[in-house]
């Protein structure tokens, strides 16, 4: 395995999450505005029922906490002193955010005051501790799915790589290698063959579960390709929208290296190499570049071969297994056709002197 790119750990403030237009929820802050700049570090939320009972093990303050109808009904059954004690312990954990899901209409704190909440002590103690308290008019399941989708996008681990990402037959090929090895020229040849450019020079990579890495261009370089001698080209303007793609999963990392007679390159393709990006192992190919080699055709074959592997057909391994099978059959036939080995000749033991006839020496 070669090449390791470790994931970064981004964050988002509670204020930015609520203001995100992709959230699709009309959530409203009703208390704890002082903590709106607290950072959310995890994409998953927590249902905090046991924490209200005083069991705080496993509570991660940097995760969004959800209080639904079950948790609210538990608080309502407590005495006023019990509710205050429970909420002071829970909201005193420096939580980044607490969302109440009641399935009711949007909350109007100025018109109705804290008393509209099923548990009015919630807003009072959230205000004291500076914990952002947000109410969602939707049910818990809808709210959780929307928050998950937004945080998956905003908190996805990201890394920028130097390379060129192209879509060849639906396979995302990330071309990597030293400067001036010919990555952009390969991409241009592939575009002329009807394939699509995703990003040139800088590829913005982000992780998506389960175990996928997607690449896209940075905003300033979108749709552009640099070719030495020609300069900066706008591929969308030259060849239309069918020649570009905004985002693509990275399926194969292709390392382009300069040809060297002293280097031994893989000629069988049985053993696979992997390149790690954001903790995901991606198949890697090392292809030498030499004048006269048709790199675009080689990359097209690499993409088609990847499709075959995904379909369960590994040409190199099948070929190797066929050779092994033929050799085994030939060995078996040779052993069965060979004559049986000759039995070893047994020599008779010499007779004892007692059994030999006596000879008269006098005749």
- Sheet with 212-217, strands from edge to edge, namely 2-5, 273-277, 280-289, 252-258, 171-176, 158-168, 196-208, 212-217, 248-249
Of 47, 201, 247, 314, the catalytic one is 201
**Which domains are seen in the chain, by residue range?**
10-154 (3.40.1390.20), 158-310 (3.40.50.300)
Residue range 137-159: mean pLDDT, rounded: 90
Catalytic, 309? Answer no
Cα–Cα distance measured from residue 363 to residue 355, given in angstroms and rounded to the nearest whole number: 20
Strand pairing of 252-258 and 280-289?
Answer: parallel
User: Count of CB atoms within 10 A of residue 45's CB?
Assistant: 19
Three-class secondary structure of residue 255 per DSSP: strand
- Sheet with 28-31, strands from edge to edge, namely 28-31, 133-136, 98-101, 65-67, 46-47
Catalytic, 152? Answer no
Q: Does pLDDT of 352 surpass 80?
A: no
**Cα-based angle 242, 246, 250 (whole degrees, multiple of 5):** 105
Of 162, 293, 313, 331, the catalytic one is 162
pLDDT in tens, 298-316: 999 999 999 999 999 888 8
Q: Which H/E stretch holds residue 281?
A: strand 280-289
Distance, CA of 317 to chain centre? 26
Of 57, 77, 228, 267, the catalytic one is 267
Residue 281: HSE in the Cβ half-sphere, 13 Å Cα cutoff? 5
Q: Does pLDDT of 102 surpass 60?
A: yes
User: Tokens 């002071």 — which residue?
Assistant: 88
Query: What integer pLDDT is reported at residue 190 of this predicted model?
Result: 97
Query: What integer pLDDT is reported at residue 114 of this predicted model?
Result: 41
pLDDT in tens, 220-240: 999 999 998 999 999 999 999
């Amino acid at each position: 395995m070669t090449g390791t790119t470790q994931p970064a750990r981004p964050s988002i403030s509670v204020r930015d999450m609520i203001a995100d237009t992709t959230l699709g929820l009309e959530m409203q802050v009703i208390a704890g505005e002082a903590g709106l700049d607290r950072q959310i570090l995890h994409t998953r939320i927590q249902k905090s029922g046991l924490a209200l009972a005083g069991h705080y093990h496993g509570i991660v303050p940097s995760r969004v906490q959800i209080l639904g109808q079950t948790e609210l009904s538990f608080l309502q059954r407590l005495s006023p002193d019990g509710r205050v004690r429970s909420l002071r312990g829970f909201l005193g954990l420096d939580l980044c955010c607490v969302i109440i899901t009641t399935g009711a209409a949007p909350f109007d704190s100025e018109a109705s005051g804290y008393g509209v909440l099923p548990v009015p002590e919630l807003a009072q103690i959230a205000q004291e501790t500076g914990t952002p308290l947000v109410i969602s008019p939707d049910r818990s399941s809808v709210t959780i799915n929307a928050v998950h989708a937004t945080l998956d996008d905003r908190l996805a681990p990201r890394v920028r790589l130097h390379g060129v990402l192209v879509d060849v037959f639906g396979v995302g090929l990330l071309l990597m290698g030293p400067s001036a090895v010919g990555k952009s020229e390969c991409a241009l040849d592939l575009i002329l063959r009807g394939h699509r450019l995703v990003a040139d020079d800088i590829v913005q990579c982000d992780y998506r579960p389960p175990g996928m890495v997607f690449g896209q261009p940075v905003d300033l370089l979108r749709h552009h390709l640099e070719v030495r001698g020609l300069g900066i080209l706008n591929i969308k303007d030259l060849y239309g929208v069918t020649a570009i793609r905004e985002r693509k999963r990275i399926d194969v990392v292709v390392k382009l290296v300069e040809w060297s007679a002293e280097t031994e390159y893989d000629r069988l393709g049985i053993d696979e190499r992997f390149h790690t990006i954001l903790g995901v192992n991606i198949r890697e190919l090392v292809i030498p570049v030499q004048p006269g080699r048709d790199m675009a055709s080689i990359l097209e074959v690499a993409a088609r071969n990847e499709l075959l592997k995904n379909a369960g057909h590994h040409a190199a391994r099948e070929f190797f297994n066929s050779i092994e099978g033929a050799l085994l059959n030939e060995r078996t036939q040779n052993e069965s056709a060979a004559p049986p080995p000759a039995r070893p000749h047994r020599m008779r033991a010499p007779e004892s002197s007692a059994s030999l006839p006596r000879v008269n020496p006098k005749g």
